[in-house]
Amino acid sequence: MECVASIGVLGGLLGGAGIGLILIEVVNRQSFHWSMDLHIPWAGLSLFALSMILLAALAAVLAGRQAMRQDAVLAVREDW
């Protein structure tokens, strides 16, 4: 459960960091002729990543409980 969410959160953080670095180091210098300091809010990003993983795990548990309310044979039979 948490593994897929962790991969997604890590991919999102890495992708966002890459885009941010390109914008700060390349686009700002070429287009606007100025630069800015890079400050990474580690505490906020850590809290965000942890909350996303926990919410994904909660969603998986709730979906699993909802799916287990019915008998599996009845759930399949309704699809036919």
pLDDT at residue number 69: 79
**Amino acid identity of 62?**
L
Calculate ∠ Cα 15-19-10, nearest 5°: 15
pLDDT at residue number 63: 87
Task: Using the structure block, give the residue that is written with the tokens 């700002």.
Answer: 28
Domain assignments of the chain as residue spans, ordered by start: 2-79
Please count the residues of the chain: 80
Task: Tell how far CA 47 is from the center of its chain.
Answer: 12
Read off the pLDDT of residues 41-80 as tens digits, 9 standing for 90 and up: 999 999 999 999 999 999 999 988 887 877 766 666 665 5
For the whole model, what pTM was predicted?
0.76
Read off the pLDDT of residues 6-27 as tens digits, 9 standing for 90 and up: 999 999 999 999 999 999 999 9
